[in-house]
Amino acid sequence: MKQSRREFLKISSLGIGGVTLAAPFFNWANGAIVSDETPGEDFVNRTPTYCEVCFWKCAGWVYKNDKGNIWKIIGNDEDPHCNGRLCPRGTGGLGMYYDEDRLKTPLIRKTIDGKQQFVEASWDEALDVVAKNLNKLKEKYGPECTALFTHGSGGKFFGDLLKAFGSTNITAPSFAQCRGPREVAFLATYGEIIASPERVDIRDTKCLVLIGSHIGENMHNGQVQEMSDAIDKGATIITVDPRFSTAASKSKHWLPIKPSTDIALLLAWIHEVIYNEWYDKKYVDKYCYGLDELKDHVKNFTPEWAYGITTIKPHVIRQTAKEMVNASPAVIIHPGRHVTWYGDDTQRLRAVAILNALLGSWGRRGGFYSPEKKSLPSFPHPEFPKPKKTWRDAHPGKYNLAIEVVSNGICDATIPTPDNDCSFKAWIVNGTNLITTLPDQKNTLEAIQHLEFMVVIDTMPMEITGYADVILPECTYLERYDYCRTDQNREPSIALRMPATEPKYNTKPDWWIVRQLAHKMGLDKFFKWNDIEEVLDWQLKQVGTSLEEMKKIGIKKFPREYDDLYFVEDQDIDFNTNTGKIELYSTDLEAEGFDPMPVYTPHPEPDPGFYRLNYGRHPAHTFSRTANNPNLTDLFDENVLWVNPIVAKEWDLKKGQEIWLENQDGILSTFPIKVRVTERIRHDSVYMVHGFGHDNKKLTRSYGKGASDTELISNVLVDPIMGGTGMRSNFVTFKLENPHKKEVAS
């Protein structure tokens, strides 16, 4: 094997000046905070924030105790995203601040005596290195050869920097590794996307259909709250999942479907609804395009046909279809969120969109509402330069319907090929651990080897930092300002995040990092401000409030501009599609050469002795972002492998036994995973929570805890429509003995 240019480095191998590791966390953990004092609100002060632990961005208050230490984070009662209640991750978000494994000071990769090492640096030095390298590569290859991968609020600042620099290759894995197919499918059908937080009217629904969506394990706050409201009001829940999820346990019907066959079930439901004439005739006549074609298309997709594919009995398919119809239009066939499964995901989500349209739930109470947001104008700046090329030039003719930058498209285009017009030379990576976010690790690592420069900005020593040339430690959301939250909801609102405390260690907020870089890179003219408070105050004043007011209230609601949460009776609507109608038959997909109506295609099944690898969320974690959080690892610190008892018996697996996994391509899990023998899963699949099995020793609480599903996802089924990475076509078998033993011994 060729010596790699970019060795994975363990942080702090060479310390200069030594960073003192204060340990306030331990003091706090041991109850050293005034244990004889009754906790109460009287002696505290509070500052507003919005949570950064997931995209829901709940607004809350950070309380400090009389010692000035962060004590607790509580939801803001006025916030429509959270209604005063944070989820466990948000409540435990303070662990991000107290985590003593945080990145503490800038680090630069240097070769000393022929050995690559990370050397501690001042901010000035580190930012100089970043600015010089990016400018050098800009001169050599053009600005477009730098890409930004980002996840989280700080990304907006880096995005501005990149645009000022001359590149629009700004990507978030939340598109192509997560919700992309859903947005593209709904856009093709309704001319509008779902976006975040999801515009589903769960609180007033009479029937909620979840397909592989495990609300309650995914703690997307408003949805969890509303699912509970719906249960209170007696709504019917139907859950389609190979696993008896928490949501399945709250459901009237659990359909333990054979994985990868969801489209067949959806087509059978559509068949039932059309051929029994159960669809909302008035709605479909008025708003939809292509019913006749659809009727023809699903003619043979009977419940009996679907039974042979899905293992769901025909009478169950009929009964559940009837349940949806009875609830119509207050029914939601939920579009889900992480939907990149089998590479035909856009088509599956099209089937979801179509079924909703037939039942008339789009634009109706208890179905899908029309969200609104209050936008804040950008701080004035000269027009950003126009890039000469984008990531799309590296994929001519492909993914034309992708509405955001495809992260894996950038990763792939970083590996030079003869016909590749946009090979990337530099990556800026902010708050996303690409090693576990992108599937096919081998490919990601190869791409990284081809980079001439990579800077990683993060709060934690995630695996990706080990490959960086420069590591910049950003402070956590509790220690910084960011742009205000302006995301959609039933009522528009703006939420402020401000620092509750000084940044710990030698860490800095993203806005500061970007402002310094802009200066060093000669981009000052695009950033006509010195302090973020200036920007925020200016923005807020444009909508009739101010930074001062927002500091007191945290969240401000605005009246809706349009009184159109739901369609009104007989309203004429011009949908933003080619036909101006809800497209059951998609003219966009047809024009791009794809099936205009969803088709079921069989997917490979596991060989004997192999099981489909499914993965999901734990309510206390947001993937690897929280895997080392002291408060949250206290709740759940290690993923386990769900195995059906029949399978366990075949393999003679005992509860808690540690096993290793090997996938269809011979890839072994680095770490063992403990077995959970449970009736709650089909015998053809296994399941684990995503985000564990970290192999960076600097993550002291999560190192070697559980296994990483990502490393076993080497078979990636790319959705030809929008570039999403289908990740559920990987199969694993069990290794009862440590397959790494020999290597360890030698």
Partner 1 sequence: MRYAMAVDTKKCVGCSDCVVACQTENNVPIGYCRDWVVEITHGTYPQLELEIRSERCNHCDNSPCVRCCPTGASHYSDGGIVLVTEDKCIGCGACISSCPYDARYPHPDGHVDKCTFCIHRVQKGQKPACVEVCPTKCMYFGDLDDPNSDVSKVLKKRKFKTLIPEAGTKPQLYFLI
Task: Point out which span in 83-91, 325-333, 593-601, 736-744 binds ligand SF4 (CB under 6 A).
Answer: 83-91
Does 219 engage in binding with ligand SF4 (CB under 6 A)? yes
Q: How many CB atoms lie within 10 A of CB 568?
A: 9
Task: Point out which span in 79-87, 328-336, 355-363, 724-732 binds ligand SF4 (CB under 6 A).
Answer: 79-87
Classify residue 72 by its DSSP letter. E
Q: Please give the Cα distance from 106 to 474 (Å, whole number).
A: 9
Residues in CB range of 277: below 8 A, 6 or more apart: none
Q: Please report how close the Cβ of residue 458 comes to partner 1 at its closest, in angstroms.
A: 23
Q: Please report how close the Cβ of residue 680 comes to ligand SF4 at its closest, in angstroms.
A: 18
- Residues 90-119, mask of contacts with ligand SF4 (x by CB under 6 A): x-----------------------------
Given ligand SF4, partner 1, none, residue 706, with its beta carbon under 5 to 8 Å by kind, binds: none
- Among 70, 86, 247, 518, which residue sits at the site for ligand SF4 (rule: CB under 6 A)? 86
Task: Point out which span in 50-58, 252-260, 407-415, 441-449 binds ligand SF4 (CB under 6 A).
Answer: 50-58
Q: Whose Cβ is closer to ligand SF4: residue 93's or residue 329's?
A: 93
Q: Please report how close the Cβ of residue 221 comes to ligand SF4 at its closest, in angstroms.
A: 4
Given partner 1, ligand SF4, none, residue 53, with its beta carbon under 5 to 8 Å by kind, binds: ligand SF4
Does 202 engage in binding with ligand SF4 (CB under 6 A)? no
Given partner 1, ligand SF4, none, residue 39, with its beta carbon under 5 to 8 Å by kind, binds: partner 1
Q: Please report how close the Cβ of residue 515 comes to ligand SF4 at its closest, in angstroms.
A: 26
Q: Please report how close the Cβ of residue 222 comes to ligand SF4 at its closest, in angstroms.
A: 8
- Among 151, 179, 206, 220, which residue sits at the site for ligand SF4 (rule: CB under 6 A)? 220
Q: Please report how close the Cβ of residue 367 comes to partner 1 at its closest, in angstroms.
A: 22
Q: Please give the Cα distance from 207 to 237 (Å, whole number).
A: 6
Q: Whose Cβ is closer to ligand SF4: residue 138's or residue 338's?
A: 338
Tokens representing 642 are 């769900």
Q: Please report how close the Cβ of residue 590 comes to ligand SF4 at its closest, in angstroms.
A: 38
Asked if residues 68 and 83 have their Cβ atoms less than 8 Å apart, the reply is no
Asked if residues 319 and 185 have their Cβ atoms less than 8 Å apart, the reply is no
Asked if residues 686 and 613 have their Cβ atoms less than 8 Å apart, the reply is yes
Q: Whose Cβ is closer to ligand SF4: residue 395's or residue 485's?
A: 485
Asked if residues 633 and 100 have their Cβ atoms less than 8 Å apart, the reply is no
What's the gap between Cα 690 and its chain centre?
A: 12
Does 301 engage in binding with ligand SF4 (CB under 6 A)? no
Pairing relationship of beta strands 170-171 and 146-150 according to DSSP bridges: parallel
Q: Please report how close the Cβ of residue 682 comes to partner 1 at its closest, in angstroms.
A: 7
- Measured from each CB, the residue nearest to ligand SF4 is 90
Q: Whose Cβ is closer to partner 1: residue 75's or residue 152's?
A: 75
Pairing relationship of beta strands 288-289 and 107-112 according to DSSP bridges: unpaired
User: Residue 713: which of 727, 697, 696 has the closest Cα?
Assistant: 727
Pairing relationship of beta strands 107-112 and 453-458 according to DSSP bridges: unpaired
Does 636 engage in binding with ligand SF4 (CB under 6 A)? no
Q: Please report how close the Cβ of residue 340 comes to partner 1 at its closest, in angstroms.
A: 24
Q: Please report how close the Cβ of residue 701 comes to ligand SF4 at its closest, in angstroms.
A: 19
Phi, psi of 330 (to 5 degrees): -80, 60
Q: How far is CA 497 from CA 102, 501, 529, in A?
A: 21, 12, 19
Q: Whose Cβ is closer to partner 1: residue 254's or residue 734's?
A: 254
Task: Point out which span in 214-222, 386-394, 638-646, 674-682 binds ligand SF4 (CB under 6 A).
Answer: 214-222
Which residues of the chain form contacts with partner 1 (CB under 8 A)? 28-31, 33, 35-36, 38-41, 71-75, 84-88, 91-92, 94, 216-217, 219, 221, 224-225, 227-229, 231-232, 244, 246, 248-250, 254, 256, 619-620, 630-632, 634-636, 644-645, 678-683
The secondary structure of 495-562, three-state, reads: ECCCCCCCCCCCCECHHHHHHHHHHHCCCHHHCCCCCHHHHHHHHHHHCCCCHHHHHHHCEEECCCCC
Q: Please give the Cα distance from 74 to 85 (Å, whole number).
A: 7
Classify residue 479 by its DSSP letter. G
Q: Please report how close the Cβ of residue 663 comes to partner 1 at its closest, in angstroms.
A: 24
- Among 150, 221, 310, 407, which residue sits at the site for ligand SF4 (rule: CB under 6 A)? 221
Residues 373-412 that bind ligand SF4 (CB under 6 A): none
Number of H helices, E strands in the chain: 25, 26
- Among 25, 46, 47, 54, which residue sits at the site for ligand SF4 (rule: CB under 6 A)? 54
User: What is the rounded (10 degree) CA torsion for 532, 537, 542, 546?
Assistant: 150
Q: Whose Cβ is closer to partner 1: residue 102's or residue 138's?
A: 102
Task: Point out which span in 20-28, 82-90, 103-111, 379-387 binds ligand SF4 (CB under 6 A).
Answer: 82-90
Residues, the chain, total?
Answer: 746
Given ligand SF4, partner 1, none, residue 46, with its beta carbon under 5 to 8 Å by kind, binds: none
Asked if residues 48 and 482 have their Cβ atoms less than 8 Å apart, the reply is no
Q: Please give the Cα distance from 587 to 608 (Å, whole number).
A: 42
- At position 209, the amino acid (one-letter code) is V
Asked if residues 582 and 294 have their Cβ atoms less than 8 Å apart, the reply is no
- At position 723, the amino acid (one-letter code) is G
Q: Please report how close the Cβ of residue 560 comes to partner 1 at its closest, in angstroms.
A: 25
Q: Whose Cβ is closer to ligand SF4: residue 215's or residue 317's?
A: 215
Tokens representing 246 are 């928490």
Q: Please give the Cα distance from 614 to 683 (Å, whole number).
A: 12
Q: How many residues bind ligand SF4 (CB under 6 A)?
A: 14
Does 87 engage in binding with ligand SF4 (CB under 6 A)? yes
Asked if residues 612 and 647 have their Cβ atoms less than 8 Å apart, the reply is no
Q: Please report how close the Cβ of residue 74 comes to ligand SF4 at its closest, in angstroms.
A: 10
Q: How far is CA 417 from CA 2, 393, 412, 414, 424, in A?
A: 19, 13, 10, 9, 11
Tokens representing 356 are 């909703």
- Among 11, 25, 49, 57, which residue sits at the site for ligand SF4 (rule: CB under 6 A)? 57
Q: Please report how close the Cβ of residue 246 comes to partner 1 at its closest, in angstroms.
A: 5
Asked if residues 408 and 399 have their Cβ atoms less than 8 Å apart, the reply is no
Q: Whose Cβ is closer to partner 1: residue 258's or residue 392's?
A: 258
Pairing relationship of beta strands 426-430 and 146-150 according to DSSP bridges: parallel
For the four alpha carbons of 220, 225, 227 and 228, in that order, the dihedral sign comes to: positive
Q: Please give the Cα distance from 559 to 372 (Å, whole number).
A: 10
Asked if residues 347 and 186 have their Cβ atoms less than 8 Å apart, the reply is no
Task: Point out which span in 199-207, 216-224, 398-406, 523-531 binds ligand SF4 (CB under 6 A).
Answer: 216-224
Given ligand SF4, partner 1, none, residue 57, with its beta carbon under 5 to 8 Å by kind, binds: ligand SF4
Given partner 1, ligand SF4, none, residue 94, with its beta carbon under 5 to 8 Å by kind, binds: partner 1
The contact set with ligand SF4 (CB under 6 A) reads: 51, 53-54, 56-58, 82, 86-87, 89-90, 219-221
